Amino acid sequence: MKLYQITYDLRKQRDYQSLQTRIKAYGTWCRPLESTWIIATSQTADQVRDNLKIAMDADDGLLVTRLQGDAAWYGLSVEVTKWLHNQYQHCEV
CA distance 90 to 93: 9
Read off the pTM: 0.90
Q: Which domains can be identified in the chain, with CATH numbers? A: 2-87 (3.30.70.240)
Helix (H, G, I), strand (E, B) or coil at 65: strand
Give the tens place of pLDDT for each residue, 38-86.
999 999 999 999 999 999 989 999 999 999 878 889 999 999 999 999 9
Q: By C-alpha distance, which of 28, 11, 27, 10 is closest to 19?
A: 10
